[in-house]
Amino acid sequence: MNPQSKETAVDPMAEQTPELLRQYTYRWFDEVWNERRDGAIDHFVADPVESQGPAPKKYGLMRKTDFRAWHRQLLEAFPDIWFEVHSVVVDGDISAARYSVSGTHLGDLDGLPASQKEVHITGMTMFRWRGGKIQESWNNHDQLGLLQQIGFVD
């Protein structure tokens, strides 16, 4: 857990300073992913939220309930998933995180049966924040590396 992680809700009335957005970004990965706190999604995600990334059918404008279902699916496929955030940069209302992800593929992932293999990939995500909530995100991770490591492609 990042030492900046807190168990308290985000403050929608707080001024969005660079330091606050940096803390929110670390907390997002710690609380939603590493601590698997489903309830933290309500604190961080706007409804609806716009999400862009490498898998079009999983991205676009989505309701919080859709995001929660996708989050649950990923945690079922990789129950030990762990994000290590290496750096966060803030510019205006946008924060960007560079991270490594590890986990063991123990459940179905978009029709791909569990491979029982450990994976290690890198990624970056940018968030647009308003009122302490993610309004929009852009996600980029090593999709090819993931598919190679679980044995789906050579």
The domain limits of the chain are 18-149
Contact 88, 25 (CB under 8 A): yes
Query: pLDDT-derived band of residue 119, with 50, 70 and 90 as boundaries?
Result: very high
pLDDT in tens, 122-138: 999 999 999 999 999 99
Pull the structure tokens for residue 84: 């290590």
Whole-prediction pTM: 0.89
Phi-psi region of 26 (alpha: psi -120 to 50; beta: other; left: phi over 0): alpha
pLDDT in tens, 50-60: 999 865 456 78
How far apart are the C-alpha atoms of 97 and 125, rounded to whole Å? 5
Looking at CATH, the fold of the domain delimited by 18-149 is given as Nuclear Transport Factor 2; Chain: A, (3.10.450)
